[in-house]
Structure 1
Amino acid sequence: MPEHDPEQELGPKFTSALQNQAGAEAGLQKTGLAQEARRRVRRRRQGWSMAAGAVLVAAAIGGVWSLVGGESPVATGSSNTSGDSKAAAPNRSFEGVMPSPAPDNMCPLEHPILKAAGPDALQASAGLDLATKVTGLRACRYGFAEGGTGLLGQEVFNAAVAQQVVDAIKVLPERNPDLPVFKCAPPTAKPSEAIVLRFDTAAGVREIWVEYDGCESAGFYTGTHTYGLYSAPLKLFMTGSVRPSGGTYLNALKDW
């Protein structure tokens, strides 16, 4: 009968115990790795939830600003080749925009009255029929004196004033009997200035020439008729740069 060796019995037990311990440690290691993996997944999910919440808040804020007509609180920019973001440049589309064209009723710098023999030279086709409806007026003051020839001033009036001027002229007699009659030499007969009234009508611009200086004649000339010079119409348009400093017949009127 073989001799009993205690070490032989303990060997398998030690081996089994070591194997069990190694398995436990491996299990614990696997369990720890699984726990770490789950912890990381939870952190990622939390990060995604926070990011999604931030996006929703930003979208909500942007929507509120859009509803009230304000600008978005988030600055926008354009990326360049280096990846840097720059603020959008302000809109300067208004720069370089040309002003609106001048209306057709602008006072011409070279007007026929500058070369006309007198106010009665106004052609009927260019003159205003006082029965015509007018929608606007530009008063143009021209000078004839040496060194002062040309446009001296102009003023614009609306339809209401334009019609008032026409209504004030068409009731006047052909001549104002209160004005003096002058006898003067030809050099002093010519006026130093006169006014052209350019009315807007459906048929285009029509004119009345106003003579108030010199010593030859005075009045409102329509191309077909002459109306005497009175203060009532003059007060309506002789304003600003169109108001003369004086005139032979104006000085005689006194209340213009």
Structure 2
Amino acid sequence: MPEPEYEPEQEFGPRIADAFQTKADAARGLRSRGLATEARRRVRKRRQALVAGSAAVVVAVAIGGVWGAIGGPSPVSTSASDNSAGSGQNKEAAPRPDLVCPDRHPILTANGDPAPRTGNGLDLETPVYGLQACRYRLTPGATMLLGSASFNATKAQELVDAIKVLPERNPALPVFKCVPEKARPAEAIVLRFATGAGQREVWVQYDGCAGAGFFTGTRTYGLYAAPLKLLLQGTLRPTGGTYLTHLKGW
């Protein structure tokens, strides 16, 4: 049986289909390669972003360390330990330079006069910003600084507020009659307050027999235990005194 003869037109259709299939396969290949390339590009971009971010953190840490080393700003602590106001113990590191207790103070040569000089006493209505308390031995020939304690502004103002409500004299304390030689106290305390007008003083007398109390130079406030409890600590605390013997609770 003779082979069937195909006309060129009969082969044209399959060739077109093959051509389209080839182009489609090529397009799919290009598309696949394009997607893979895009995926790799995005991965590289993310990796570069992570590396850049890490480098920025390292640089920031390094700059922060250098800044701290050269004295840049440091965080301010707000912990309760930084605030000594109202605590049982005064935590002020050091007294103000103008409040340091002098070895030689006018009270040592005051001849028993319990009051500071006019103009140097503290008006108890004046706000105070710190206190250095100084305890002195007044015995002639053996005068000296016996002890001291510093107080911050809060404690200083608390002490002033406790004194200024006192009467001129504590009626519970005895009144002594004695010769001048016996009137002189063996020791006393000077309270040196920082104020807006400079350093001002209150003298505290609790020994001898001439009188006891807090003396400002213009006013006298009686000797009571409440202010003394805020004040007397460490080397500032007397071992005794004529009036302290009769004062309870100090």
User: How would you bin the TM-score normalised by the shorter chain?
Assistant: 0.5 to 0.7
- The runs of 5 or more residues in structure 2 that have no matched partner are 1-53, 64-68, 70-93
* Structure 2: distance between partners of 1:188 and 1:215: 7
1:146, CA displacement in angstroms?
A: 5.0
1:160, CA displacement in angstroms?
A: 0.8
Percent identity, please: 61
Q: Does 1:153 align with 2:178?
A: no
Q: 1:167-193 CA distances to partner (integer Å, 9 max, x unpaired)?
A: 111111111100011122333221110
Max Rg structure: 1
**2:193 aligned to 189, 192, 199, which one?**
199
SS at match of 1:108: coil
Q: 1:3-32 CA distances to partner (integer Å, 9 max, x unpaired)?
A: xxxxxxxxxxxxxxxxxxxxxxxxxxxxxx
Q: Does 1:69 align with 2:57?
A: no
Q: Which of structure 1's runs of 4+ aligned residues deviate more than 4 A?
A: 61-67
* RMSD over aligned Cα atoms: 2.7
Q: 1:226 to 1:105 in 2, by over 3 A?
A: same
* Structure 2: distance between partners of 1:101 and 1:209: 18
- The runs of 5 or more residues in structure 1 that have no matched partner are 1-60, 71-90, 92-99
SS at match of 1:104: helix
SS at match of 1:183: coil
* Structure 2: distance between partners of 1:102 and 1:198: 10
1:147, CA displacement in angstroms?
A: 6.0
* Structure 2: distance between partners of 1:253 and 1:64: 67
* Structure 2: distance between partners of 1:156 and 1:227: 22
1:144, CA displacement in angstroms?
A: 1.3
Q: Does 1:182 align with 2:176?
A: yes
1:237, CA displacement in angstroms?
A: 1.0
Alignment TM-score, normalising by the size of structure 2: 0.62
| Number of equivalent positions | 171
1:66, CA displacement in angstroms?
A: 4.8
* Structure 1: distance between partners of 2:96 and 2:102: 11
Alignment TM-score, normalising by the size of structure 1: 0.61
1:242 paired residue number: 236
Equivalence map 1:43-192=2 (5 Å): 66-69=59-62, 103-145=97-139, 148-192=142-186
CA contact (8 A) 1:119 1:210 kept: no
